[in-house]
Structure 1
């Protein structure tokens, strides 16, 4: 049977109030009594109840993190940075992955609320503004990372996704490419990247058209499948912008299936600058999101709201193009 605070108090020969004071690091307890109670807690393997702590109005020192896809290296790396910063600040992070499914978002929000987390951090892919507004009405601190809700006053850390799409496309144009395609999943951050892509084409007076449709998934297989379909178009592209590194790798794999050399025959740019961008062959040119800075900043803002030490802020970071070996000067046109 799981030990309770009553068992600890009885074994130590002290009151329940004394045990509670020691758990919550209150003063007025002798060092001898404190050591004795802590020893008994360890022997009994007693763990204070988080729910009981919450019911007393105290913080549980826990924060919920809801991600759309933990298998995506960007989100796994971001989760690690958030968890590292949480540890530094004395908070535990409860991580849930939704697979971009609304029913899972609803389920995990209810689960984390039942665990009495002190705050929720929602990552890119979460698009339900009504849910966020309802959570704010409950006075539960909410923060958004890798996405921006311009119409909601909420702690936010994201990059300028429009600028990211723009600099990626501009880089390819300056290399001589005029037939540039893009692959992206239909979420807010990618729609902004797509908007940047189209703006760059307009600014350089390019009118390349292909049969664009949003990708149903954000993985390598999807990138490969869509690229193969685009290669069959009447005017196949000589370059791709992908909304993440996994989709970009899928494009490169499709190019290899078609006997195309990257970057001699086809240039490819990814997005996120995850670890796979560095180790893939060829190393991937990509738009970097400063994952470490994002993780630290969102945790600092979240804890600041919990403690009342910081007001709400929107932090929009500048993306950076990391040029590697998957892009090059246009030398060959893919046969029409």
Structure 2
């Protein structure tokens, strides 16, 4: 039999109300009593019935986090920063991997609502605008992280993705690159990054790559596949901008397989500045997102909403920055055939 709150109260020699206050971190309780209750909870291995608490109108201290791809280092690092801040504030996370699929988003939202979570954090890649509106209409606390819904008012902690793409293009153009390929999945954040990229090209009278096409999944294999097409096409770029570090790793792998030297023959820029950017060879030049700050701020925002402290919608936009490493170099014109060589070919 699982221990009950009554047994915890009896063993700790306190009232049931005191145990409840300790669990919910409410009321004025002495540190001595808090320690005693927690010692008994640990001794008895007591697990609070969160569903019962929810039915009584109490908070479950649980937040649902929907992440599109936990295999992507950016999302795993973001989830960790959110979880760490949640632990500091006394909240647990239920993390769900949606694989960028709307049906899985709907499935997890329905499941977590049944579990009576106190609120939702929806990460970049969440494209189901109608579901966000539905949650807000139901007055369920919801916050968006690493993307934005500028078309309506919603709590969000986002990056200026437009500026990130603009920085990447400006940097490569400054190195002398004019023919630049792009690797990107068709999601809102990447569309903004490409929009910023195009802006920098336009300002320098350069054309956007005619060979560009969105990939269908955000994996190293997809990055490698599209890079093979770039490197074996008729208009080989001298640089490639990948819209996340995972894709950029695929770009580096494809370059190695095609015996293309990075950065001597091909410069590569990623996006996110995750751990992977520092350990690949060569280390990756990338646009850095303030992942730790992003996770902390979105958790602070959702908890404030859950407690009823924040009534107005808040949209925080963080700025990216470029981190230069060894995957990029100044553009070098490919060696041309000498006049003699041309004549020999003509003969």
Does TM-score exceed 0.5, indicating one fold?
A: yes
Indicate conservation of the 8 Å contact 2:12/2:37, yes or no.
Answer: no
Which whole-Å CA distance do the structure 2 matches of 1:232 and 1:36 have between them? 69
CA separation of 1:38/1:282 partners in 2, compared to 1, >3 Å: closer, same or farther? closer
Which whole-Å CA distance do the structure 2 matches of 1:13 and 1:169 have between them? 63
CA separation of 1:202/1:19 partners in 2, compared to 1, >3 Å: closer, same or farther? same
Indicate conservation of the 8 Å contact 1:269/1:284, yes or no.
Answer: yes
Q: CA deviation at 1:237?
A: 0.4
Which whole-Å CA distance do the structure 1 matches of 2:12 and 2:49 have between them? 21
CA separation of 1:14/1:300 partners in 2, compared to 1, >3 Å: closer, same or farther? closer
Partner of 1:321: 322
| Residue 253 (1) aligns with residue 256 (2) | no
Q: CA deviation at 1:43?
A: 5.0
Q: CA deviation at 1:256?
A: 1.3
CA separation of 1:268/1:41 partners in 2, compared to 1, >3 Å: closer, same or farther? closer
Spell out the pairing of 1:257-276 with structure 2 (5 A cutoff): 257-276=257-276
Correspondent of 1:24 among 4, 21, 28: 21
Partner of 1:295: 295
Spell out the pairing of 1:274-289 with structure 2 (5 A cutoff): 274-289=274-289
CA separation of 1:42/1:193 partners in 2, compared to 1, >3 Å: closer, same or farther? closer
Q: CA deviation at 1:273?
A: 0.3
Three-state SS of the structure 2 residue aligned to 1:109 is helix
Indicate conservation of the 8 Å contact 1:23/1:48, yes or no.
Answer: no
Indicate conservation of the 8 Å contact 2:61/2:118, yes or no.
Answer: yes
Q: CA deviation at 1:279?
A: 1.3
CA separation of 1:73/1:334 partners in 2, compared to 1, >3 Å: closer, same or farther? farther
CA separation of 1:38/1:281 partners in 2, compared to 1, >3 Å: closer, same or farther? closer
Partner of 2:343: none
Which whole-Å CA distance do the structure 1 matches of 2:318 and 2:28 have between them? 47
Indicate conservation of the 8 Å contact 2:198/2:208, yes or no.
Answer: no
Which whole-Å CA distance do the structure 2 matches of 1:56 and 1:106 have between them? 26
Partner of 2:304: 304
Partner of 1:46: 46
Partner of 1:149: 149
CA separation of 1:257/1:21 partners in 2, compared to 1, >3 Å: closer, same or farther? same
What root-mean-square deviation, in Å, do the aligned CA atoms of Structure 1 and Structure 2 show? 2.6
Q: CA deviation at 1:63?
A: 0.9
| Residue 168 (1) aligns with residue 168 (2) | yes
Which whole-Å CA distance do the structure 2 matches of 1:139 and 1:174 have between them? 48
Indicate conservation of the 8 Å contact 1:262/1:327, yes or no.
Answer: yes
Which whole-Å CA distance do the structure 2 matches of 1:37 and 1:109 have between them? 34
Three-state SS of the structure 1 residue aligned to 2:63 is strand
Partner of 1:92: 92
CA separation of 1:31/1:322 partners in 2, compared to 1, >3 Å: closer, same or farther? closer
Runs of 5+ unmatched residues, structure 1:
none
Indicate conservation of the 8 Å contact 2:69/2:97, yes or no.
Answer: yes
CA separation of 1:13/1:148 partners in 2, compared to 1, >3 Å: closer, same or farther? closer
Partner of 1:109: 109
CA separation of 1:242/1:140 partners in 2, compared to 1, >3 Å: closer, same or farther? same
Which whole-Å CA distance do the structure 2 matches of 1:93 and 1:279 have between them? 29
Indicate conservation of the 8 Å contact 2:66/2:121, yes or no.
Answer: yes
CA separation of 1:326/1:41 partners in 2, compared to 1, >3 Å: closer, same or farther? closer
Q: CA deviation at 1:44?
A: 4.3
Count of matched residue positions in the alignment of Structure 1 and Structure 2: 332
Q: CA deviation at 1:134?
A: 0.6
Indicate conservation of the 8 Å contact 1:264/1:332, yes or no.
Answer: no
Which whole-Å CA distance do the structure 1 matches of 2:71 and 2:29 have between them? 48
Which whole-Å CA distance do the structure 1 matches of 2:191 and 2:335 have between them? 27
Three-state SS of the structure 2 residue aligned to 1:302 is helix
